[in-house]
Amino acid sequence: MNNPATGTEFQPFSPDSPISNEQLASLVNSEQGKISPLIYQDEAIYQLELERLFGRSWLFLAHETQIPDTGDFFSTYMGEDPILVVRQADGSVAAFLNQCRHRGMKLCRADSGNAKAFTCSYHGWSYDIGGNLAQVPFEERAYGKVDPAEWSPTKVPRIEHYKGLIFGCFDKQVPDLETYLGDMKWYIDLFLDRAEGGTEVVGGMHKWVIPCNWKFAAEQFASDMYHAPVSHASPLIASMPPDMDLSQVGWPEEGRQFSAPEGHGTGFFFDTPEFLFPMLGEEAANYYVNTSAGEAIERLGDMRGRRMNGAHMTIFPTLSFLPGINTLRVWHPRGPNEVEVWAWTLVDKKAPDSVKDAYRKAVLRTFSSGGMLEQDDGENWTQIQKGLRGHQARNTTFNVQMGLGNDTHDFPDLPGKTNYVYGEMAARGLYNRWLEMMTAKDWSELTIPTGDEESGHA
Amino acid sequence: MLNHLPSVALAEHPATTPEMQQAIEQYLYCEAQLLDNREFDQWFELLADDLHYYMPTRYNRTKRAAGQEFSSPHEAALFDEDKQSMSTRIRRLHTGMAWAEEPASRTRHMISNVQVHPTANSNEIEVDCCFMLYRSRLERDVDIFVGARRDLLRQADNELGWQIVKRAVALDQTTVLASNLSIFF
Ligand code: FES
Ligand SMILES: [Fe+2]
């Protein structure tokens, strides 16, 4: 069985010998745009991802507006680790493992709410909202003393905020969040900073399960505009007036894709606001394209305020947005063969209530488990994943070559490395970063030198 | 578990007649059959112009916050449709490119626990029921959806005598354990 990087026989992993960096490197060749599907399917690789990738990346925890008041908590995951995110009395945010230090019971089993303390339902150890052990039943007679400094839930040591989004990282060494975001910051402001006051979440969220590897979803939102005309033809046709057919609607052709050495990616069209109308309906689209555009242009300039439309984006590894359509989602990994999608709708805080409600409906009708566009994405990923049960299928190299050789740093008004909108540069960037994260000893090998946009190869 | 869904049923009303109970049950079975036979256009004919087709999201809450188990009207919902958006959904199924339904799902709607309640409008009744919706797709994919439904039906001049004005669906899952909701409830 040939592997894409070396063309040589691939050495299968054995349970008692860890995967070597050479083996990992043989699975991803971002220079030639070749990927071994084993990265989507292998259990040992997945376990290593939980440790090296999810354990060392900045991961989205919650939006500020989900937990406005002291004691408000949101129950989430970092990789597969259950995490409680809690607003503190001083306005800061604490995050810690949702795991009792006595025997590991899940401390809190509600999805969200408000708490004064978290009391374990097994033997009653109790923790304050900062995640510090506060009370142990029969402590004096049964233990003498249980030291809270030693026996509190594992804290998420790094927590930082960016324009309404709260991130956490388990690796103390990780560079600060803004450095980690790199040039991607400029692009995500298109979503998070169009209006004074920033964004808020529409209450509630969507959670559903797709039997596919998390990377299919993350990669598509980073890099794949190419699928839209085929995968999403049906909702477009269905929302056209009955006397029109597909031949009368050209899919947009002008746009760019951006790839960050940190693994993030985005792609967008230029000057195609009309596409938002059939997708979102009149009220939400009109707000985005007309009502709010003046302020957006003032804050962000003409390129981001007006010209970039229909953007897809992923913050490496698992946070994705569709600015304009206003969905934000996390792809929580659940083994190599399953992802849990957690999706929210974001709106400008200052938008009129009727626009917020129009967005709420527009997103649930397009991008949710019942959404008319989202359904088809899941179908693709699910069927790919099923095929990878086959030995031949999972050892057949995938083609990630679109736009190879066309990267440029000189596209006017766009920072960083860009390429044509229908391309796979950002996918190659994502997999290259995946490999770097999977093989690096620690963050000293991962930090991108500032001023140097090119990423090295592991 | 329907007490969270808005109700227009009269608080006190005489017991439904066996004839009415029978007629409404037959209506629900026929309607379900249209969906299971993929006769979506005929099913669409049963929807009132002022349709509201709704499925809230659902959450794990502590007893103290039990009132927030279901999303409120201005929060994320799984479906929040009017007649026009239902028409788009059905047109989409006819394109032959709605990939999550191409090839189509095999569905079976099982309707039970039917309770008929008069409302203040003599031509409208509220009907509660439970459902189990089995969906089998492609070679071996299976989803089972279980929940409760509250419909508002209005007497109408159509083949089945009633149209659906409101349908609120309480799905008995928080995390939806299916890769999509490409079917109708
Ligand atoms: S496991 Fe929590 S108190 Fe024992
Ligand atoms: Fe898509």
Q: pTM (2 decimals)?
A: 0.95
How high is the ipTM of this complex?
A: 0.96
CA distance B105 to B103: 7
DSSP string, A414-439: --SEEEESS--HHHHHHHHHHHHHHH
Same domain, yes or no: A118 and A195:
no
A20 found inside a domain: no
Tell me the chain A residues in contact with residue B72 when contact means C-beta distances shorter than 8 Å: 203-204
Ligand 1 pocket mutation pick from A84, A102, A127 by most atoms within 8 angstroms of CB: A102
Q: Is A345 in the B-facing interface, judged by CB distances under 8 Å?
A: yes
Atom number, ligand 1, closest to the C-alpha of residue A123: 3
Query: Searching chain B, which residue's CA lies closest to the CA of residue A239?
Result: B88
Mind telling me how many Å the CA of B74 is from chain A's nearest CA? 7
Identify the closest residue of chain B to A365 by CA–CA distance: B79
Residues flanking ligand 1, CB < 6 Å? A 100, 102-103, 105, 120, 122-125
**A205 and A348 belong to one structural domain:** yes
* One pLDDT digit (tens) per residue for chain A, 458 residues: 456 665 655 555 555 667 999 999 999 999 999 999 999 999 999 999 999 999 999 999 999 999 999 999 999 999 999 999 999 999 999 999 999 999 999 999 999 999 999 999 999 999 999 999 999 999 999 999 999 999 999 999 999 999 999 999 999 999 999 999 999 999 999 999 999 999 999 999 999 999 999 999 999 999 999 999 999 999 888 887 777 766 666 789 999 999 999 999 999 999 999 889 988 999 999 999 999 999 999 999 999 999 999 999 999 999 999 999 999 999 999 999 999 999 999 999 999 999 999 999 999 999 999 999 999 999 999 999 999 999 999 999 999 999 999 999 999 999 999 999 999 999 999 999 999 999 999 999 998 877 544 444 43
Q: What pLDDT sits at residue A149?
A: 97
Model pLDDT, residue A5: 64
Beta strand pairing call for A319-322 and A206-210 = unpaired
Same domain, A278 and A187: yes
- Active-site residue, from A42, A128, A193, A224: A224
- Which residues span the domain enclosing B50? 15-171
In the residue annotation, A377 being an active-site residue is answered as yes
In a domain, A43, yes or no: no
Contact A234 B61 (CB under 8 A): no
CA dihedral sign of residues A219, A225, A226, A230: positive
In ligand 1, the atom with minimum distance to the C-alpha of A103 is 1
CA angle centred on A155, ends A151 and A158, rounded to 5°: 155
**What is the residue with the minimal CA distance to atom 4 of ligand 1?**
A123
Nearest by CB to residue B97, choosing from A207, A234, A378, is A234
Please report which ligand is nearest the Cα atom of A325: 2
Q: Given A112, A128, A160, which residue is the final one in a domain? A: A160
Percentage of residues of chain B with pLDDT beyond 90: 91
Q: Is residue A386 in a domain?
A: yes
Domain extent for A318: 183-445
CATH code of residue A136: 2.102.10.10
Q: Does residue B32 lie within any of the structural domains? A: yes
Question: From atom 3 of ligand 1, which residue's Cα is the shortest distance away?
Answer: A123
Q: Say whether both A368 and A254 belong to one domain.
A: yes
| A442 CA: distance to closest CA in chain B (Å) | 35
CA distance B41 to A383: 29
B10: in domain: no
Q: Which listed ligand is nearest to A106 at the C-alpha? A: 1
A9 within some domain: no
**Residue B100 domain flag:** yes
Q: Is residue A361 located within the same domain as residue A268?
A: yes
The verdict on a CB contact (< 8 Å) between A239 and B88 is yes
A112-121 — which CB contacts under 8 Å span 24+ positions? Answer: A112/A66, A112/A67, A112/A72, A112/A73, A112/A74, A112/A75, A112/B59, A113/A72, A113/A73, A113/B61, A113/B62, A113/B64, A113/B65, A113/B68, A114/A69, A114/A71, A114/A72, A114/A73, A114/B65, A115/A71, A115/A73, A115/A86, A116/A71, A118/A84
Domain for residue B134, yes or no? yes
All residues of chain A having their beta carbon less than 8 Å from the beta carbon of residue B65 are 110, 113-114
Measured in angstroms, how far is the CA atom of residue A104 from the centroid of ligand 1?
6
Task: Reply yes or no on whether A176 is catalytic.
Answer: no
By Cβ distance, the residue of B62, B176, B179 closest to A110 is B62
Domains held by chain B: number: 1
Is A6 among the domain residues? Answer: no
CA of A16 to the centre of ligand 2 (A): 39
CATH number at residue A426: 3.90.380.10
Q: Residues with Cβ < 8 Å from A148, sequence gap 6 or more?
A: A132, A133, A134
DSSP at B61:
-
CB contact under 8 A, B95 and A239: no
pLDDT at B116 > cutoff 50: yes
Partner residue opposite B75 with nearest CB, options A110, A113, A202: A202
Ligand found nearest the CA of A371: 2
B179 falls within a domain: no
| Predicted local confidence at residue B80, as pLDDT | 98
Q: Is residue B6 part of a domain?
A: no
B184 in a domain, yes or no? Answer: no
Per annotation, catalytic residue among A171, A227, A357, A376: A227
Provide the CATH number for the domain around residue B90. Answer: 3.10.450.50
For chain A, the domain total comes to 2
Rounded to 5°, the CA angle A270-A368-A372 comes to: 70
With beta carbons under 8 A apart, name residues in chain B contacting A111. Answer: 59-61, 174
Confirm whether A5 is domain-assigned. Answer: no
CB A259 within 8 A of CB A453: no
Could you tell me if residue B4 is inside a domain?
no
Residues A148 and A257 reside in one and the same domain: no
Q: What's the rounded Cα separation, in Å, for the pair A323 and A309? A: 8
- pLDDT of amino acid A193: 98
Q: Tell me what pLDDT residue B107 has.
A: 98
User: Which residues, including other chains, have CB under 8 Å from residue B139's CB and lie 6 or more apart?
Assistant: none
Interchain pair B80, A382: CB under 8 A: no
Compare CB distances from A111 to B60, B74, B78 and report the shortest one's residue. B60
Q: Report the alpha-carbon distance of residue A248 to residue A80 in Å, rounded.
A: 46
Query: What pLDDT does residue A454 have?
Result: 47
Q: What CA–CA distances, in Å, run from A107 to A18, A75, A123, A138, A299?
A: 33, 10, 11, 19, 43
Q: What is the mean predicted confidence (pLDDT) over B67-87? A: 97
State the pLDDT at residue A339: 98
Residue A129 and residue A190 in one domain: no
Question: Are residues A379 and A255 part of one domain?
Answer: yes
Residue A340 contacts B where some CB pair is shorter than 8 Å: yes
